[in-house]
Amino acid sequence: MKHQTLWIYSYARRYFKAMVFYTVLGFVGVGVSLFISWVSKDLVDIITGHNAGKVISTFALMVGLNIGMTIMNMITDYFASYISMKVDAEIKSDIFEKILVTDWESLTNYHTGDLLTRWSSDASNISSGVLSFIPNALISIVRFVSTFIMIIYHDWTFAVFTFLSLPVSLLLSRTLMRRMVNNNKRSAAMSAKLSGFNQETFSNIQTIKAFSLISLYVGRLKQLQKEYITMRLDFKRMSIWTSLLLTTMGLIVSYSAYAWGIFRVWSGAISYGTMTMFLGLSGSLTGTLNSITSLVPNAIGLTTSAGRLMDIVEMPREDYSDDDRVGEFLKEHSADGIGVELSDVSYAYNNGNLVFEGASMAAAPGEIVALVGPSGEGKTTMLRLILSLMKTGDGQGVIKSGDDTMPLTPATRRLFSYVPQGNTMFSGTIAENMRNVKPDATDDEIRDALSLACALEFVEKLPLGINSEIKERGGGFSEGQAQRLSIARALLRKSPILLLDEATSALDVATERRVLKNIMHDDYPRACIVTTHRPTVLQACSRVYAIKDKKFVVLDEDGIKKLIDDF
Ligand SMILES: Nc1ncnc2c1ncn2[C@@H]1O[C@H](COP(=O)(O)OP(=O)(O)OP(=O)(O)O)[C@@H](O)[C@H]1O
Ligand SMILES: [Mg+2]
């Protein structure tokens, strides 16, 4: 728990001034409310004749104080919301960024729904806790102590009532605490499961309909909701019992205080005003005491959330420290082109699946190199290694221009354009999607790239042309059209190395040929690596690597011919 607390502290200290301001406002509030009790005591005493002060002026003072108190509460409330929203936004953008620079492979161990829940609700818990926890603790303590002193000052016998409910509160908070740790974790895991389920369902509606799975999925949701409700109700029952006990205790305390007050007034020890003041104060003391004892369970809620966030933000980060050197490398060699070379590389996924062992391959500027092999042999894995999405085991990969080399790192990614397998367009217009990778691209540049990818022909037929909307995951376009848009996006970036992962698999053979021809005849000295199942591409390639026994072998002409014939 210490670790989590320190982590929260690292965020909290950024808002030190805001916390001090909020706390001071709270202290002033405590002072004013005590002063109000005092004035109201005077008022009762004046009315009941114990004190010959002026009724009207005292009454006016009390009304004024109450109005002042209301205004101050409004200011505090506004300020608290402002700060907590600001902290919330800051923590969330911070964690958003951290998730994006987290090592990709580690991140794939988490379901997106789980990541989303951690990012949204756990971060919200922290942001509301950062502001309220320490200031509220301080304010409660100051309220408790000052009220207590005021009671002792007027009649020490009433002080006894303050601690009457303490043993019960402490006992309850211990039970509450244990249950809470457990419940917090389960509830967070359950929300993550629910949000993952919904997200996956909504993004696969087509499949669900096609397999007539609607009632199955509705049933599954109901089952998940039932589990969630059962769990929450379990906790709710406990908190209702807890609050029932606390309320009963509170009532016992206030009735005893009431009886004792009447006795003291009857025996002439105190005035009516003092009695009403005590009754008010004893209520506020019990409340304050309860909120102090609930600090521990609150702290537990906070540390649980912190722990869940730390799980993700403390995963290994990608190292971009080479960024400047890569920039220089690019400047120096962009005219000659830059290639990529891997020597004796091995790689196993973290589930132990060994995909490469001693694999070597290279693609020089101006070359198109093909990686072929049956499904599941490691073509995509190799591209991920080249992009440093994953670290190689043995061996190493470099970017290379002439004799100059630099190791592949996350920073070298900026030298690549990648057309991944599957649909990876974002929602927004075609032009927006293109400018994602090159913000200053002119409309003409976008059209040129679309034309190279043989996409302009269908884009121009759309009423809005390059300003047509693409829906989520390329919606609104056919698979082959989305592939061509994705290729155009990669070409627009004009990077030295182009990686195409089955990027033309959904195109007809004629269009596929035209696209590849265009890429080859582009003047830019690009190194290009394509993975493919289709032999149409192979004759156009400088070299064809086949994956065999976790290594690459270069196919000779006969080998390529055999591949084409076998297709
Ligand atoms: N995230 C992952 N975790 C564990 N194993 C993985 C992961 N991704 C892929 N693999 C495994 O690595 C091997 C190579 O997969 P890869 O995706 O590189 O194949 P591929 O040659 O691109 O196949 P395809 O032609 O079907 O696209 C497969 O056995 C696959 O099961
Ligand atoms: Mg693949």
- Residue-level length of the chain: 567
In three-state secondary structure terms, 345 is strand
pLDDT exceeds 80 at position 293 = no
pLDDT digits (tens, 9 = 90+) for 297-320: 788 888 889 999 999 888 999 999
Q: Tell me, yes or no, whether 171 and 79 share the same domain.
A: yes
Q: Tell me, yes or no, whether 19 and 38 share the same domain.
A: yes
268 part of a folded domain? yes
Q: Which of 259, 280, 313 is the last residue of a domain?
A: 313
Q: Tell me, yes or no, whether 332 and 270 share the same domain.
A: no
Compare 179 and 302 and report the one with higher pLDDT: 302
| Rounded alpha-carbon distances, angstroms, from residue 497 to 273, 345, 363, 365, 449 | 85, 19, 9, 8, 16
Tokens of 539: 């004759």
Q: Tell me, yes or no, whether 259 and 347 share the same domain.
A: no
**Statement: the pTM of the whole predicted model exceeds 0.85:** no
Q: Tell me, yes or no, whether 339 and 447 share the same domain.
A: yes
d(CA 460, CA 140): 67
Q: Tell me, yes or no, whether 284 and 329 share the same domain.
A: no
Question: What's the confidence (pLDDT) of residue 545?
Answer: 95
Q: Which residue lies with its CA nearest to atom 30 of ligand 1?
A: 376
Question: What's the confidence (pLDDT) of residue 478?
Answer: 92
pLDDT exceeds 90 at position 197 = yes
Q: Tell me, yes or no, whether 307 and 362 share the same domain.
A: no
Domain harbouring 167, CATH code: 1.20.1560.10
Q: Which residue lies with its CA nearest to atom 14 of ligand 1?
A: 378
Are the beta carbons of 306 and 126 closer than 8 angstroms? yes
Which of 440, 424, 435, 433 is CA-nearest to residue 469? 433
Q: Which residue lies with its CA nearest to atom 28 of ligand 1?
A: 376
Q: pLDDT class for 236, splitting at 50, 70, 90?
A: confident
CA of 421, closest atom in ligand 1: 27
Q: Tell me, yes or no, whether 382 and 495 share the same domain.
A: yes
Q: Tell me, yes or no, whether 124 and 56 share the same domain.
A: yes
Given ligand 1 and candidates 345, 353, 550, which is best to mutate, with the most ligand atoms within 8 Å of its CB? Answer: 353
Question: What's the confidence (pLDDT) of residue 22?
Answer: 87
35 part of a folded domain? yes
Q: pLDDT class for 52, splitting at 50, 70, 90?
A: confident
pLDDT exceeds 90 at position 142 = yes
Alpha helices in 48-122 (DSSP H): 55-101, 104-107, 112-117
C-alpha dihedral, 153 to 154 to 160 to 165, nearest 10°: -100
pLDDT exceeds 80 at position 53 = no
Question: Which protein residues are within 6 Å of ligand 1, measured from CB?
Answer: 108, 349, 351, 353, 355, 373, 375-381, 421
Are the beta carbons of 487 and 503 closer than 8 angstroms? yes
Q: Which of 313, 346, 374 is the last residue of a domain?
A: 313
Q: What is the phi/psi pair of residue 393, to 5°?
A: -75, -100
pLDDT digits (tens, 9 = 90+) for 67-109: 999 998 898 888 888 888 888 898 899 899 999 999 998 898 8
Task: Find tokens 């070597």 and name the residue.
Answer: 360
Q: Tell me, yes or no, whether 416 and 526 share the same domain.
A: yes
d(CA 423, CA 211): 22
Question: What's the confidence (pLDDT) of residue 551?
Answer: 93
319 part of a folded domain? no
Compare 315 and 131 and report the one with higher pLDDT: 315
Q: Tell me, yes or no, whether 171 and 105 share the same domain.
A: yes
Q: Tell me, yes or no, whether 164 and 122 share the same domain.
A: yes
Question: What's the confidence (pLDDT) of residue 507?
Answer: 86
Question: What's the confidence (pLDDT) of residue 362?
Answer: 96
CA of 382, closest atom in ligand 1: 18
Q: pLDDT class for 1, splitting at 50, 70, 90?
A: confident
pLDDT digits (tens, 9 = 90+) for 315-361: 999 999 999 999 999 999 988 899 999 999 999 998 889 999 999 99
Domain harbouring 526, CATH code: 3.40.50.300
Question: What's the confidence (pLDDT) of residue 498?
Answer: 93
Lowest-pLDDT range of 17-31, 38-52, 241-255: 241-255
Q: pLDDT class for 243, splitting at 50, 70, 90?
A: confident
Question: What's the confidence (pLDDT) of residue 401?
Answer: 93
Given ligand 1 and candidates 380, 500, 552, which is best to mutate, with the most ligand atoms within 8 Å of its CB? Answer: 380
d(CA 448, CA 460): 12
318 part of a folded domain? no
Tokens of 263: 């006795």
Parent domain of 205: 2-313
Rounded to an integer, the average pLDDT of 530-558 is: 86
Q: Which of 313, 341, 358 is the last residue of a domain?
A: 313
Average pLDDT, the chain: 88
Look up residue 117 and give its amino acid.
T
Label the pairing between strands 527-532 and 551-554.
unpaired
d(CA 399, CA 199): 39
- Ligand 1 centroid to Cα of residue 535, in Å, is 21
| Rounded alpha-carbon distances, angstroms, from residue 435 to 169, 285, 417, 447, 481 | 60, 61, 14, 12, 18
Q: pLDDT class for 187, splitting at 50, 70, 90?
A: confident
Look at the chain and report how many structural domains it folds into.
2
Residue 385 CA neighbour count, 13 Å, CB half:
28
